[in-house]
A and B are shown apart, each in its own frame.
Chain A
Amino acid sequence: MTDAYSQLTTADGRPLKAALAAAQARARRRAFLLVAPLLLFVVVTFILPIGQMLQRSVYHDGFSNSAPALGEWFSSHPDGSDFDESAYAALASDLALMKKDKTAGEAGTRINYTVPGTRSLFTSSARGADKLEPPYKEALLALDAKWGEPVIWQAMREASSPWTSDFYLIATDRQRTADGGIERVPENERIYLWLFGKTFILSGVITFLCLILAFPIAHLLATLPMSKSNLLMILVLLPFWTSLLVRTTSWIVLLQGQGVVNNILVSLGVIGDDGRITMIYNQTGTIIVMTHILLPFMVLPLYSVMRTIKPSYARAARSLGATSWTTFRRIYLPQTLPGIGAGALLTFILAVGYYITPALVGGADGQLISNLIQFHMSKSNWSLAAALSAMLLAGVLVLYWLYDRLVGIDKLKLG
């Protein structure tokens, strides 16, 4: 504001700026009070859990808590130091502590994440740890020769601090080498990146199918007379009123080997009884069922945009000499782009994180990344599940950013 404005005063002599600020502050306070309950709800149930998830993906204190001596040794001996008697002494004292506190399993589990097959090394060594005599190096190596492996020491060094990038390494199919470097895991053990790729590709396919199927329906909805479009709208929304589980299992009834579709095909003689088509418990099943379930999320944004496109645009184009195809391509389609963008973004984001449907009908090859996240959660590997989830979240945010750059978030129309 210029000085001329700040010097203006109200009738009773207060500076205009101050009076305005006071008046607006009251309105702002009231507005804040109105949204406060929702804000609280969102913070408690959404922001905090996401924050906690992000923290868990880089924080695991299973080992660092139960191995204080090793922690001290690692911090006073930089990377590349020899693992001498003092290191083994620290290890022995920590193992004894683990036995006392019964934390050997927990600590082993943490190391096991990065070096598979090491959990039992901790549990069995801890069992006799209080009877160990110096020199500890020989005693421990006698107990289990694995204690001499640099990979395990490297893993323990990384785990001696609760803050770690280990889980992101795992989630991107990478591991630490014995000398502290990072390499990709052997080809036959790479699963996560491949599954991310597959999830994104399948979601893309499902989004595309939804778009192809939803476009004509949405157009019909937007142009039919009210009474007919209402009926059609009910049909579109019907799936929303049925439980997701019911819808998914009805697809099983339809598509399974002895299901309705196969039975009809067999009785029509299109296929033989021994040639029943496998349409479910595989990738095809995931695509079919998820396309059906996500279809309304494509129809509604498209419909809401198409409804606002006046028929006079098409008429104008036709009167100017355009064929109906040119009219569609150059006049109608460009105006539906905000709807296509919103519908595709919504459908894609929902598909990328979908869990129940692939779990029920996906079989072995129709699983998505969310199924793997659930798997790690069921195995209490919270940190890895969190790292995978965070990567998924990052992927979605990148998409969102891309959409904003290409189309503009302000053009997003959901209804």
Chain B
Amino acid sequence: MQDDLPIHGETRVTTEARNDDFVVFDHVQKSYDGVSLVVKDLNLNIGKGEFLTMLGPSGSGKTTCLMMLAGFETATHGEIRLDGRNINLVPPHKRGIGMVFQNYALFPHMTVGENLAFPLEVRGMGKDEREAKIRRALDMVQMGAFANRRPAQLSGGQQQRIALARALVFDPALVLMDEPLGALDKQLREHMQFEIKHLHESLGITVVYVTHDQGEALTMSDRVAVFNDGKIQQLGPPSDLYERPDNSFVAQFIGENNKLPGTIEELSGDKALVRLGTGELIDATPVNVTAKGQKTLVSIRPERVEFKPEMMPAGAHMIDATVLEVIYMGDILRVRLRVAGSDDFVMKMRNTLGQTKLSPGQQIKVGWHPADARALDPM
């Protein structure tokens, strides 16, 4: 059965594998010590050609999931399927999955060319074919002139490209990347994000990408799976995660976020009225609250906070705020406010020509569209 796997990456279409479950985690659990679960009942379908990112804080089990998919860890329970086949018992070298490691793992005793030749040699490929593929892969990452260098003679960004080329040179249908850009500086990281995304699109490969950087996850992915505590907290396209977080963990982990704790005063369909601890009433959209009197945490993005009454929808509540600090950030102004007794409520306003000037100590009123305030579970 192992021989039928797409080792050379031919995009085989099996009858039972639909396009949107190229990779399937089916009730997968993982425990290292037999005492605690590092991965708790993971269910995840990844489509062919999809760019899926596992995003979560350190220790949330992302690497473990990737290692189980690559075959370096065994699932304690459950089934992992690749292209419709259970691969639980398939050894790593027969899975035909490309992998990029955080520290690149370029073989230090081989030149760049030899590193790229390695996966082709172990597949018994002839010399001419090998060289053609190596040249193509190196050109793909704009490293054509570096075939004879040793990894130690390359900069971090260059090593990263070579690691990428090596993971792609044998045409795998699935490529895993575990925090591949973690060691690069910001500018290079953003550039590489773009290049990886570009490669993904032009090659049509499926990518499972692991990162703890939410910006990276949002800009690169088709879908993001937010991990915490061994569970997927939310799975969806970047805009969903940012604009419609399912719970307060996701709301806080992705993007900046104002939190206002309170109790549900009124609940009617997709509208809720929340009474804050200090007595004010605000509007919100109920997400995972179900009854009046329930405690909740209302989350509002700083850029969705308004202080000009004319911008507010009719009938929306506004509450008092005191300007504490105005931070000039170039493209935006970041205003720290005291709202409902808390000192870290942030509002972002665009730095436009006619923008109203706020100064510390000023009393204003702030509000928001009810759809932008989400009443989530209290943490």
Contacts and interface: CB of A to CB of B under 8 A. Distances in A.
A319 B70 contact: yes
A331 B107 contact: yes
Given A326-B122, A330-B118, A319 B98 contact: yes
Interface string A325-356: 01000110011000000000000000000000
A321 B7 contact: yes
A313 B105 contact: yes
A292 B105 CA distance: 36
Interface string A293-330: 00000000000000000101101111111111010001
B109 A334 contact: yes
B105 A321 contact: no
A321 B99 contact: no
Interface string B90-109: 01111111110101011111
B122 A310 contact: no
B72 interface: yes
Nearest to B118: A320
A319 B174 CA distance: 11
Contacts of B71: 318-319
A321 B123 CA distance: 7
B106 to A, nearest CB: 8
Secondary structure dominating the interface of B: loop
B108 A318 contact: no
Secondary structure dominating the interface of A: helix
Nearest to A327: B93
Interface string B360-371: 000000000000
B119 interface: yes
Interface residues of B, number: 28
Interface string B127-138: 000000000000
B101 A312 contact: yes
A322 B101 contact: no
A321 B170 contact: yes
A331 B7 CA distance: 21
A319 B109 contact: no
A321 B109 contact: no
Interface in B129-165: none
B107 A319 contact: no
Interface in B50-72: 70-72
Given A321-B119, A330-B118, A315 B96 contact: no
Contact of A322 (B97, B118, B166): B118
20 contacts: A312-B101, A315-B72, A316-B101, A316-B105, A316-B107, A318-B93, A319-B71, A319-B93, A319-B167, A319-B176, A320-B98, A320-B99, A320-B119, A320-B170, A321-B122, A321-B123, A321-B170, A322-B119, A323-B93, A331-B107
Interface of B: 7, 70-72, 91-99, 101, 103, 105-109, 118-119, 122-123, 166-167, 170, 176
